[in-house]
Structure 1
């Protein structure tokens, strides 16, 4: 059964509302929400142990990650605790929707690989060379430090990174809502990709504000933690704090995705969540 969807235009300020609701959902079920993201990370590391195939499977899983978190947020709003079942629930509705979701996953993985190949061609292998250097750090080695500085100063590296980030951002637009449009709206793959693109374009001001808020949170929190550990003389703890902070912000971000979808295609994001005091 499909739900009635209709494209809506929302004010720019709703980009901040989505972030706020993401924090509120996380606050209701912090262990469940962060546990889901940690579980996905663990599964991703396990997949990377498989040569070639593992990387492709991980890329294919990313669209289901966003949809799984939308389902998790939906459950939290109904006072239920989400489990790992949210990641496979989209594949269990109907054979047609399962095949459509798998087609989206395959298209996302293939397009991502093409973006990486194009970016490697643009930078001439500069990014790969930098990765190899950083993978084998040599402390207090002047030659190693000069090699890293030279790799970072390579002009082609900047062009390659701009290509990666720019094309990755463009790719996220059609895939942002597409899995949810298939799951709740029963749309076909091409229709879902088009609808997602149209939804984001029509609400570009809200999404731009949303992106700015998330960027500000990431940078601001990183600077605050760095300042605190520096003042306390505990700089060695910074790498240890980066992982839980990254897990926290990533979990909240994914918990907020549900509200971007319902605001653009369903009943709209509520000003206050169910169960809150007005």
Structure 2
């Protein structure tokens, strides 16, 4: 893989904003469709919530395909999305989501084993006091879970588009995604640090202008939804920068990421 400079992360963010500006209406409609599906699934107790996480990589594949269409100055059509819902892509994406659910469950077990069930119960009931959090090593537990979740996030970042565009299996996609991020770690540190800064600054500006009431919080929620879409566009730009544009011959980075 060609060595990426840290500034490449800024370029991906700019490209993400540029993609969103091309077809904001279509991307908003796509996000709305996802929210409707999520709301319908949430009606089903427990299983519906699990299904949302299992199907999250499917939505990721849909969204990056939308980004590819926009990047190619095309309109997204159902024909473009059909392969995502066919074999072998759909089972692999669902398998990826299932692995994520399993990993999240293991992280939850680690959390409970450190802080204890009483602290978790108090947190769920919003009765966790600073004294109880300190006594239960809550801060230490959060740090441990955060550190353990980093390799999971690195492996998941590009796994869905690799399954979809590169026709990789679940394990291979996780491997390639992890090492792609690892070998450009400085770039991704700047990339994610900028996104944290963007979220913090824009949220603060909205709350200062609209206040912290119901209207202000509604605007913040809408802002976060837009930022989430632009972030996905930037992840697509990062994928292209590392693995090559979809439909093009595999880049050297894809062959040598391991």
Alignment of 1:38-77 (within 5 A): 38-77=32-71
The count of corresponding residues between Structure 1 and Structure 2 is 245
2:179 to 198, 223, 227: 198
- For the pair shown, the structure with the greater C-alpha radius of gyration is 1
Distance 2:185 2:45 in 1: 39
After superposition, give the CA deviation of every residue in 1:134-190 in whole Å (9 maximum; x if it has no partner).
Answer: 7xxxxxxxxxxxx65556655532233223433333211111112212221122222
1:189 aligns with 2:189: no
1:259 to 231, 237, 245: 237
Residue 235 of structure 1 deviates from its aligned partner by 4.9
Residue 49 of structure 1 deviates from its aligned partner by 2.8
Whether the aligned pair in 1 keeps the contact of 2:156 and 2:174 (CA below 8 Å) is yes
Q: Over aligned residues, Cα RMSD in angstroms?
A: 2.6
Equivalent residue number for residue 255 of structure 2: none
1:132 aligns with 2:125: yes
Alignment of 1:71-86 (within 5 A): 71-82=65-76
Q: Provide TM-score, normalisation by structure 2.
A: 0.83
1:99 aligns with 2:77: no
Q: Provide TM-score, normalisation by structure 1.
A: 0.77
1:121 aligns with 2:113: yes
Distance 1:57 1:132 in 2: 25
Alignment of 1:7-18 (within 5 A): 7-18=1-12
Residue 229 of structure 1 deviates from its aligned partner by 3.5
Secondary structure of the 1:133 match is coil
Larger RCO, structures 1/2 (Cα 8 Å, 6+ apart): 1
Whether the aligned pair in 2 keeps the contact of 1:97 and 1:186 (CA below 8 Å) is yes
Residue 243 of structure 1 deviates from its aligned partner by 1.2
Equivalent residue number for residue 200 of structure 2: 219
Equivalent residue number for residue 17 of structure 2: 23
Distance 1:81 1:211 in 2: 29
Which runs of 5 or more residues in structure 1 are unaligned?
A: 1-6, 135-146, 269-278
Residue 209 of structure 1 deviates from its aligned partner by 0.8
Which runs of 5 or more residues in structure 2 are unaligned?
A: 247-258
Distance 1:127 1:82 in 2: 44
Equivalent residue number for residue 112 of structure 1: 104
Moved more, 114-123 or 196-205: 114-123
Residue 85 of structure 1 deviates from its aligned partner by 7.6
Distance 1:87 1:148 in 2: 48
